[in-house]
Structure 1
Amino acid sequence: MDWAITAEGLVKRFGDRRVVDGVDLTVPAGSIYGVLGPNGAGKTTTLRMLLGIIEPDEGHRTLLGHAQPQDASDQIGYLPEERGLYPAMKAREAIAFMGALRGLDWRTGRARAGEMLEVAGLGHAADEKIRKLSKGMAQLVQLLGSVVHQPDLIVLDEPFSGLDPVNQERLERLILAERDRGATILFSTHIMAHAQRLCDRLAVIAGGKRRFEGTVEEARALLPQQVHYVPHHPGPDIARALPADARADGEGWRFTLPADGIEQTLKHLIDAGHGISGLSIERPGLHEAFVRIVGADAAEAAR
């Protein structure tokens, strides 16, 4: 497999604190890869070490085959967590300017900027000054500027933070379009819903350590499947026919899928006269898996 990024044993200390403590990552080329974790987990520091913005105290990394990330700088698009555009610039010019910083000629940058703004649903804002745009629109303009030179690797630090649902959807579409173009996308987030929809693979970082690496489905498989059962004729003694961990959920019940399957439980329910109005077997979502991996306290901090 071709790797866009490899990292082994990354360590970063600030004073006596190990903010990143031996993190390993392997990001397949052409994939969408998420780095998940609560605030303060070390996600941003890890991304900055990968990009060569700061140097690790220990460990090593390669970026697009380069041992020195700076050697690949023109092939990279980076959206930092701290946003910043020149407020007096128009949106189209701001995008072209960011492309020029990566070696893209001005005329091509302006032309691409106009096309990208149209596709993103922001064509009407092409000649608006940044100061007149909403926060979400300005953030999308900065993202477009980060990818206008068509980089091979796109690194986004908390890209969904502060966006309303409409602009979150626009951003998801843009990320998928860049992946379909052939780019590798690496993004950090503490919002599980985006990671579950977008990621081919992901890593979970907490307390500066990598706690998990794999696919979304592998993360969800860490927890047993759950049964959602709605009785047709619920009676006061229904709990007797249900597994011990069953809990009420609206008009129905939820419980862990028994190790020997659901058939025996359903037989008890039918024999007791409760019947079946609805039944589904579901794998827990990425949020539940995240709680299992990092612990309830850390997961609450990620909200």
Structure 2
Amino acid sequence: MNVLLSVEGLEKSFKDKKVLHGISFEVHSGEIMAILGPNGAGKSTTIRSIMGILMPDEGSVIFHNHKGKGIPRNKIGYLPEERGLYKDVRVMDILLYLAELKDYPLDKAKQRAMEYLKKLDLEGKEHVKMEELSKGMAQKVQFISSIIHEPELLILDEPFSGLDPVSQEVLKTEIRNLAKSGTAILLSSHQMNLVEEMCDRVFMIQRGHKVIYGTLEDVKKQYANFKCTIHGKNDISLLEKIPEVVRVEQTDDTSILYLTKDVEAPKWLKTLPDEIVINELTLDRVSLHEIFIDIATDKNLLKDSERQSLEEVGGTNA
């Protein structure tokens, strides 16, 4: 994939507080890349620097399809976390107005608006005022406004907020279609299950530092060890004696066994003692959600050697 956006060595301070420490990453055409981090980690500052809303103290933002200086705003689409379309304006009017601000032909904008209103189950709403729409409907209109001008880079900040499960599936389909057509997508969300389902690569910030950067496959292989969930009433001391078990977490009749790195799952299952009560058993890798919580809460449950292995694939420098 071609590199569309390069963020190189961003540094930013507000008064005496430094909020970005040498942030660097790339976004490729046709990929969906997640930018993650807990509240206050530096995501918004990074996004605003890319948008040209803030100027970093050090570092650069390079849009590779643009020869001029500065950020080509007509090439970027942005769905902010804080929604703000004019409430007393009709849907089609606001969409055409925003397309005009991006120097996009109005006849094409109207055609695209009608197509996406139909795709997102908003057909017949083009003459309705924004204030008359439900929260979910307004969210979908705001999404259309971010893509009406066919941007090459699309930045989505919590795009699924306020959407019911059916609408989430529709929006996920459209985001994937945009990526397939070549749009580079930078997605920020706290819904780790959706990130894990959709994104090709992950970039995570903690306290203004890069802590994870790589493909989702690399992150899962290098960071996420296997865990075994057993439903059944068992003594924790028995479970802790099982070979290659690092730690055990128990809640009522459910036990989660976290295993050592590079364990061979089929062979390990054969080591389970016969006296263990198993009503149900699942064996899978630690989820992106659990990785996020581990980093965001400073649990640091991974061994140093495991963290080092992720650094070697471009993962951490916290």
TM-score normalised per structure 2: 0.81
Instruction: State the match for 2:229 in structure 1.
Output: 228
1:178 Cα deviation after fit:
1.2
What is the correspondence of 1:46-125 to structure 2 with a 5 Å cutoff?
46-66=46-66, 70=70, 72-125=72-125
Cα distance in 2 between the residues matched to 1:290 and 1:18: 22
Cα distance in 2 between the residues matched to 1:55 and 1:237: 54
Letter matched to residue 57 of structure 1 = D
> Can you list the C-alpha shifts for 1:78-102, whole angstroms capped at 9, x where unaligned?
1223322222222122222211211
> Can you list the C-alpha shifts for 1:160-200, whole angstroms capped at 9, x where unaligned?
33444444333322211211222111122222122111111
Q: Secondary structure at the match of 2:149?
A: coil
Cα distance in 1 between the residues matched to 2:249 and 2:236: 14
Q: Does the 8 A contact of 2:242 with 2:271 survive in 1?
A: no
Cα distance in 2 between the residues matched to 1:54 and 1:295: 28
1:250 Cα deviation after fit:
6.1
Alignment partner for residue 295 of structure 1, among 294, 297, 300?
297
1:53 Cα deviation after fit:
2.0
> Can you list the C-alpha shifts for 1:213-259, whole angstroms capped at 9, x where unaligned?
1122333331320123457xx78799267456344466553312356
Q: Does the 8 A contact of 2:34 with 2:188 survive in 1?
A: yes
Cα distance in 1 between the residues matched to 2:58 and 2:237: 59
Instruction: State the match for 2:270 in structure 1.
Output: 266
Alignment partner for residue 259 of structure 2, among 251, 257, 260?
257
Cα distance in 2 between the residues matched to 1:30 and 1:217: 17
1:7 Cα deviation after fit:
1.2
Q: Does the 8 A contact of 2:80 with 2:156 survive in 1?
A: yes
Cα distance in 1 between the residues matched to 2:141 and 2:227: 42
Instruction: State the match for 1:281 in structure 2.
Output: 283
Letter matched to residue 225 of structure 1 = F
What is the correspondence of 1:146-185 to structure 2 with a 5 Å cutoff?
146-185=146-185
Cα distance in 1 between the residues matched to 2:54 and 2:236: 63
Instruction: State the match for 1:239 in structure 2.
Output: 238
> Can you list the C-alpha shifts for 1:14-44, whole angstroms capped at 9, x where unaligned?
1111122211111122100111011111111
Q: Does the 8 A contact of 2:236 with 2:248 survive in 1?
A: no
Q: Secondary structure at the match of 2:9?
A: strand
Deviates more, 1:47-56 or 1:166-175: 166-175
Deviates more, 1:279-288 or 1:215-224: 215-224
Cα distance in 2 between the residues matched to 1:211 and 1:145: 33
Q: Does the 8 A contact of 1:19 with 1:208 survive in 2?
A: yes
Gaps of 5+ in 2: 301-318
Q: Secondary structure at the match of 1:205?
A: strand
Letter matched to residue 211 of structure 2 = R
Q: Secondary structure at the match of 2:92?
A: helix
Aligned length: 294
Deviates more, 1:41-50 or 1:189-198: 189-198
Instruction: State the match for 1:301 in structure 2.
Output: none
Deviates more, 1:124-133 or 1:248-257: 248-257
